[in-house]
Amino acid sequence: MTTTYEPNQVLSNETFKVVGTRPIRHDGADKVTGRAKYGADYTAAGLLHGKTLRSPHAHARIKSIDTSKAEALAGVKAVVTSKDFPPTKDTADFGLGGQPMDRFRGNLLAGDKVLYRGHAIAAVAATSPHIAEEAIGLIEVDYEVLPAVFTAPDGMADDAPILLEDLTTQEFGKDTGRKSNIADHFQHKMGDLDKGFAAADVVIERSFDTKTVHQGYIEPHNVTALWNDDDRIHVYSSTQGSFVVRASVSEALAVPVSKVRATPMEIGGGFGGKINVYGEPVAALLSKKAGNKPVKIVMSRAEVFEGTGPTSGSHTTIKMGATKEGKIVAASANLQLEAGAYPGSPVGAAAMCVFSAYNVDNVVIDGYDVVVNKPKTAAYRAPGAPNAAFAAEQVVDELAQKLNIDPIELRLMNAAKEGVRRADGPIHPRIGCVEVLDAMKAHDHYSSPITPAKKGGKTGRGVAIGFWFNIGFASSCNITVNNDGTINLIEGSTDIGGSRASIAMHAAEVLGITAEEVIPQVVDTDSIGYTAITGGSRTTFATGWAAYEAAQDVKRQVVARAAKIWGVDPDSVEMVEGVIRSKTDTELNMTFKELAGQINATGEPIVGRAAVDPAGAGASFAGQIVDVEVDPETGKTDVLRFTMVQDAGKAIHPSYVEGQMQGAAVQGIGWALNEEYYYSKDGKMDNASFLDYRMPTTLDLPMIDTVIVEVANPGHPYGVRGVGEAPIVSPQAAIANAIQNATGRRMTSLPINSVAIMEASWAAKTS
């Protein structure tokens, strides 16, 4: 319970020596001096520069491509098109599930059709980026422009233009043989929906729409590839998964995986968008064709917007019913998510999350994965869940209003807890949904009056809660002990937000040393065991666990070495908080550092290793309290106060947990109020720059207050739950609820920008 207000609180109930402290990150000095090497900073002797030709049309057949003029330009060393890909297997799995290779290659370089504006068609390598750009302009493509479709409901229409001629709809796990843009329709069902609604005193049904939005990382995608004279390919890029890069280059170019080495450079943000691979195989092809010269491709900002995966726009219908006492008795969802040009929207995750913060007996969830003429979507933090929560959390808010029950109270009355079944099957283990809601209710923000208006507008408060399941997956870690008592720790998880520190802290805690006595490094795919993506909020959980296990391996060897030095039975020796001691003879003890100094003289080096694939990732919940001011004259909404509460299980490095919560809050604010791909009628993104795709700046925001709740995850040695995704699930809904509270109007489409507010206001006046 909070009695005094602090902007950042950590509600811990278990403390450790290193875990839970706030050391300076190990890569800190490099990152504040400009020394850290990001992908675009890599250079090599004889470097060539690549540029990509992209489709000006949303949907067109490619009748011919003539690259001869580009090839003839002085300084051009290679030009590639889809014809340069070798034959490959039909399907391949890069660590994220199997996918048809013709579609994967088709997104790298289009074959006979372009499916979205910005679709890559050809690439050039030249001695300078300017020459490469000139050469791109000399490639002649003859298009037959085709009708295009841009939203899920339009894509599902019977008369919709078909994107992929070989796509037939999968329905309830079976191939219908029906050609359409609906790649998949599935359903989760629990209880008896009709019976549930029959028992309800209040039923709310509404439809909601969200637009395509981009992750908006500041660093554009980049790659340098060298196809060496020994036919080994070395790829340097900013990626969320070096092993995904390795696998995708190997599969796309039909070379053995052992021939590819992927070096993950420092990465300038990803949020899910740098899991998918774009330029890596193309740069490798160019390298080979240019005579084994290194080729670097760095995307422009417009290419990032138009040629890489944003997240899905969506159309969602939610119906929920509750008794007059406030028990939610029935809920249904119809989720239609845009996949972009190829199947694979996050509708599955949306369906897993839509009602998972609640205990509802009667549920039906329908999900549709729909291809449309937009870039193939990629993950964006808790992909799919914000689309679902924007809808469901507004309906819950409306139920609370109709029932005249406090919105946090209604959520608490229906909150999911251990033993409750989710509609998609799993039964919740120990989770912190109730604890997050309790912390919201207890927070100074919730008991304070709504923040006064700064500009004379209407003010309102909204709340919402979001669920994300988190993932585990494989990670590897090696530790070597230095004779000064420090350790070198190597791992394979790209560090996007301080994970070197949180991973190193796992090992430090085990060995009783400080965080600073660990020297962590992220290394390439030749140098560490397989490690899955930095994504799914898994890195601190799973790679941290690998570090914990590798440190345990070191600890076992340290105990054995001390026993050898002392000439005693290893079973009689233990290591506690960094001190190795005999359980029976108090005279026999030494610190880890003292033992480290004797390693070289007393036997073999001490090297710890671990490879893990942990289950029990432990879901996370995050809730928001938001105060807004809406200017009735302009429709502009300002966020006046924002509090983010999240269950982190155990915050290894609380500053970086808060950072995840604050960053997600602000991405959520941008998504709620301003961000969208603004399309012309023919499918051109009219705002493909940071000027017009306007993300929040310092000036648009208040401080973002945080409360870290710690409900230990029983599936992790320190209780960690992943934290990167849950906090972006419901800020959009909390803001919409606050706007409703301020204006009396329920805004059902994102973004809720000035135009939307004013149109709603005018519509209310005329009706």
Partner 1 sequence: MSGKKVHVTTTLNGEAVEFLCEPRQSLLEVLRDVVQLTGAKEGCNDGNCGACTVNMDGRIVDSCLVLGVEAEGASIGTVEGIASPEGLHPIQQAFLEHAALQCGICTPGFLVASKALLEKEPNPSEDRIRMWLAGNLCRCTGYDKIVRAVIDAAGRMAGATA
Where along the sequence are the contacts to partner 1 (CB under 8 A)? 22, 24-25, 27-29, 31-38, 40-41, 43, 128, 130-131, 215-220, 266-271, 298, 300-301, 496-498, 653, 655-656, 658-659, 662-667, 689-691, 695, 697-699, 701, 703-704
Residue 13 or 128 having the CB closest to partner 1: 128
Residue 34 or 567 having the CB closest to partner 1: 34
What's the number of CA atoms in the CB half-sphere (13 Å) around residue 303? 17
Which secondary-structure segment (H or E) carries 401?
A: helix 385-403
Query: Do 467 and 721 meet the contact criterion of CB atoms below 8 Å apart?
Result: no
CB of 620 to partner 1, least distance (A): 18
Strand order in the sheet with 579-582: 573-576, 579-582, 589-591
CB of 130 to partner 1, least distance (A): 6
Nearest of 493, 42, 496, 494 to residue 269 by alpha carbon: 496
CB of 724 to partner 1, least distance (A): 10
Rg (CA), the chain: 27
Asked whether the CA dihedral 718, 722, 724, 729 is positive or negative, the reply is negative
Nearest of 274, 386, 437, 490 to residue 725 by alpha carbon: 386
Residue 41 or 409 having the CB closest to partner 1: 41
Tokens 């043989």, located at residue? 177
Q: Tell me how many degrees the CA angle 295-298-302 measures, rounded to the nearest 5.
A: 145
CB of 337 to partner 1, least distance (A): 23
Q: Where are the beta strands (DSSP E) in 429-510?
A: 458-468, 475-481, 487-491
Q: 3-state DSSP call for residue 454?
A: coil
Cβ neighbour number for residue 131 with a 10 Å cutoff: 20
Token digits of residue 663: 């960053």
Residue 450 or 695 having the CB closest to partner 1: 695
Q: Tell me how many degrees the CA angle 252-100-78 measures, rounded to the nearest 5.
A: 30
CB of 228 to partner 1, least distance (A): 24
Strand order in the sheet with 487-491: 518-522, 487-491, 475-481, 607-612
Decide the pairing of beta strands 704-709 and 8-11. Answer: parallel
CB of 113 to partner 1, least distance (A): 30
Asked whether the CA dihedral 381, 384, 386, 389 is positive or negative, the reply is negative
Q: 3-state DSSP call for residue 171?
A: strand
Backbone angles phi, psi at 350, to 5 degrees: -60, -40
d(CA 243, CA 224): 16
Residue 145 or 218 having the CB closest to partner 1: 218
d(CA 451, CA 388): 28
Query: Do 654 and 498 meet the contact criterion of CB atoms below 8 Å apart?
Result: no
Residue 266 or 424 having the CB closest to partner 1: 266
Residue 130 or 583 having the CB closest to partner 1: 130
CB of 519 to partner 1, least distance (A): 17
What distances in angstroms separate CA 464 from CA 389, 393, 441, one per listed residue? 9, 6, 12
Residue 289 or 653 having the CB closest to partner 1: 653
Residue 687 or 761 having the CB closest to partner 1: 687
Residue 99 or 660 having the CB closest to partner 1: 660
Backbone angles phi, psi at 708, to 5 degrees: -95, 120
CB of 642 to partner 1, least distance (A): 9
State which amino acid sits at residue 568: V
CB of 394 to partner 1, least distance (A): 23
Residue 300 or 488 having the CB closest to partner 1: 300
Residue 56 or 75 having the CB closest to partner 1: 75
CB of 222 to partner 1, least distance (A): 10
Residue 130 or 417 having the CB closest to partner 1: 130
Q: Where are the beta strands (DSSP E) in 469-517?
A: 475-481, 487-491
CB of 566 to partner 1, least distance (A): 41
CB of 323 to partner 1, least distance (A): 39
Cβ neighbour number for residue 754 with a 10 Å cutoff: 17
Residue 24 or 198 having the CB closest to partner 1: 24
CB of 383 to partner 1, least distance (A): 16
d(CA 689, CA 475): 37
Cβ neighbour number for residue 33 with a 10 Å cutoff: 8
Tokens 């209710």, located at residue? 441
CB of 445 to partner 1, least distance (A): 15
Residue 272 or 281 having the CB closest to partner 1: 272
Residue 23 or 715 having the CB closest to partner 1: 23
The residues facing 76 across adjacent strands are: 126
CB of 655 to partner 1, least distance (A): 4
d(CA 177, CA 174): 9
Residue 111 or 659 having the CB closest to partner 1: 659
Query: Do 23 and 515 meet the contact criterion of CB atoms below 8 Å apart?
Result: yes
- DSSP tag of 382: S
d(CA 276, CA 254): 18
Task: Please give the span between the terminal C-alpha atoms of the chain, in angstroms, as a whole number.
Answer: 47
d(CA 199, CA 206): 19
CB of 700 to partner 1, least distance (A): 8
CB of 298 to partner 1, least distance (A): 7
